[in-house]
Structure 1
Amino acid sequence: MSTAEAGVVFHRAQGRTLDAFPEEQKRDQKSPFYFIQGADPQFGLMKSWSTGDCDNGEDEWGQEICLTEQAIQAINKLNPKPRFFVLCGDRIHAMPG
């Protein structure tokens, strides 16, 4: 995915405002909505914890990827669907390998 494509897919807040939805869509929003907040996935941390060495051993993301896929599948099954998903905190503990 190119940087330009990522800019279209991933919206970032600026000036304490998230401009991810068109004005007419915000104006027409009459029904309640909800969103999901995910926090601190820390890819690479599970293996570090399992080995008891949080300074090393973070060379695998397998468990975190599996859990992330399960979470996405569960979110995609929700009805009604959340309006958006926001991910906060530390996304990675360390890069693999």
Structure 2
Amino acid sequence: MKRTMLLVLIAAGLLTGCGEKTPKCSSDDAKNLVVDIARKTIEKGMTLDKDVHISVENVRTISHESGLDVYQCAADLTFTKPDLQNSLPITYRIQKTDDNNGQFYINVSGL
């Protein structure tokens, strides 16, 4: 859990200037960050082959707290390799920072 949170903090810094609204569950920014977090988390425990492609598919918005502009999302994290495909159900939460600098945080569960 600590290492996932650390990855979230690092990765969120990459998305400065993305706008003032929290990205929706299916936005490219959110999905790319989820893939980045997943890849870094998985590679801490094992080595991924170079030909493994990770994608976020079947994205669903579970809830949106409009007052806080926080999204709770569910999706399938799909690992594709030639002649092989496997999916893992995940959830993630997207929340913008309070200082309105365009950054947001994603916390991924299920990895």
Q: TM-score, normalised by structure 2?
A: 0.27
| Larger RCO of the pair (alpha carbons < 8 Å, separation 6+) | 1
The higher radius of gyration belongs to 1
Q: If each structure's strand is expressed as a fraction of its own residues, which one has the higher value? A: 2
